Amino acid sequence: MIKTNEKKVNTTADSSYKLKQLVIMSLIAAIAYVVTFVCRLPIMPSAPFLDLEFKSAIILIGAYIFGPLSGLIMTAVVCLIEMVTFSTTEIIGFIMNFIATTCLVVPASYAYKKKSSTVSVVVGLIIGGIIMTVAMVAWNYFITPLYMGVPREAIAAMLVPVFVPFNLIKAGLNGGAALFLFRFVIAALKKARLIPERNTENKGGIVVAVIIAALTIATCVLAVLMINGVF
């Protein structure tokens, strides 16, 4: 009888946690969608059709909390809702957004899942940013000419001066924002008992993460200002 009661308690606890996880994931996806809807910035004067947005940063935080698979699910949901509401690129835009966000979110969150440390987070973000940049350069070279009806030579001429810096800046800003915010979000969720307590990094590691995030964001902002001829 005692074992049966313990099993019922464990089952109830698991169900409660899964429900909390679903609610939090839904909230994170909703925030990512709203952020994408209200904040899209054209940062490349030579390519005004390229918008900088920050859904990857929000989804990254959720993926750090619940893992790469959850990040993949949230990415699919946000990109799908974006496609059927305000996006003008339909299925092509959905696929492109899904690939770009996934390439950043999955490697970064997988690295953190393997080892919860600042080094793992930074390495994961660097790998994810490189993968995203390579994937988007390939996408624009092979796919963009087909649905935009422009010569491939014109796109090829934009790869290094436009698409590479744009995606590196996008990855840097989203990764930096996630790195800066996610430990505070996790701490708040733990305090509210919405996620279980786990081993956490010491305060020194958190300070290092915040410094790295601030430097990354500052570097990307400076790059944007230089590209736009501010100085």
| Of 98, 70, 79, the residue nearest 36 (C-alpha) | 79
Residue in this structure with the two tokens 């969608």, named with its chain if needed: 33
Query: What pLDDT sits at residue 128?
Result: 97
Non-local (6+) Cβ contacts of 18 within 8 A are none
Q: How is the chain split into domains, by residue range?
A: 2-227
Q: What is the pLDDT along the chain (231 residues), one digit of tens a residue?
A: 445 555 555 566 677 778 889 999 999 999 999 999 999 999 999 899 899 999 999 999 999 999 999 999 999 999 999 999 998 888 999 999 999 999 999 999 999 999 888 899 999 999 999 999 999 999 999 999 988 888 999 999 999 999 999 999 999 999 999 999 988 888 888 888 777 776 555 666 788 889 999 999 999 999 999 999 887
SS3 41: strand
SS3 51: strand
Beta carbons of 93 and 139 less than 8 angstroms apart: no
Instruction: Quote the radius of gyration of the chain (alpha carbons, Å).
Output: 19
Q: With respect to CATH, is domain 2-227 assigned 1.10.1760.20?
A: yes
Assign 3-state DSSP to the chain and report helix, strand, coil percentages, each to 5. 80, 0, 20
Strand runs labelled E in 4-129: 41-42, 51-52
Dist CA 38 CA 86 (whole Å): 11
What is the 8-class DSSP label of residue 42?
E
Query: What pLDDT sits at residue 8?
Result: 55
Read off the pTM.
0.90
Query: What pLDDT sits at residue 202?
Result: 62
Dist CA 78 CA 218 (whole Å): 27
Dist CA 62 CA 110 (whole Å): 12
Token pair of 58, please? Answer: 């929000």
